[in-house]
Amino acid sequence: MYQQQTQGVLIKVEPNFLDEESDPDENRFVWAYRVVIENHGAEAVQLLEREWRITDARNHTEIIRGPGVVGEQPVIEPGQRFEYTSGAPLQTASGFMSGAYTMALRTGERFDAAIPAFALDSPFNTMTVH
């Protein structure tokens, strides 16, 4: 599991290759990823927006921005957590993702909580490092 903390917000990500959703002959490789967002701070935070950078093995990067996650803009109280699962397809057998969530405190102050960079590796990745 990959993890990173920003201003008391701990973000953990666990990717999982979906063999049954993938079709290597059609250059379709699909991953699910589970995200856990824990509030270790002293005040509630609300997840307002997301930005994902998805990069494939050819170094092609797609940037995805939007409100909330999975249709929600959750408020996470101190000591609480929010968890969701989503997915990402690539045209290559490997890649990586990173990003940030724009969080807001009740005071209106905003900050970007970093999403740790994580690898998207499949059993079809034939790249060898010497």
Q: Is residue 129 part of a domain?
A: no
Q: Is residue 77 part of a domain?
A: yes
- Angle ∠(29,92,123) on CA atoms, nearest 5: 60
Q: Is the pTM of this model over 0.75?
A: yes
**Predicted local confidence at residue 130, as pLDDT:** 42
Q: Is residue 57 part of a domain?
A: yes
Please state the domain count of the chain: 1
Count of all residues that appear for the chain in the document: 130
Q: Is residue 105 part of a domain?
A: yes
Other CB atoms within 10 Å distance of the CB of residue 33? 19
Q: Is residue 130 part of a domain?
A: no
Q: Is residue 127 part of a domain?
A: no
**Predicted local confidence at residue 33, as pLDDT:** 98
Q: Is residue 40 part of a domain?
A: yes
**Predicted local confidence at residue 125, as pLDDT:** 76
Here the CATH number for the domain that contains residue 81 is: 2.60.40.1470
Q: Is residue 126 part of a domain?
A: no
Which residue has 């903390």 as its token pair? 5
- Angle ∠(48,3,34) on CA atoms, nearest 5: 65
Mean per-residue pLDDT pooled into runs of 10, the chain (130 residues): 97 97 96 98 97 96 97 98 97 97 96 97 70
Task: Name the residue range of residue 70's domain.
Answer: 2-121
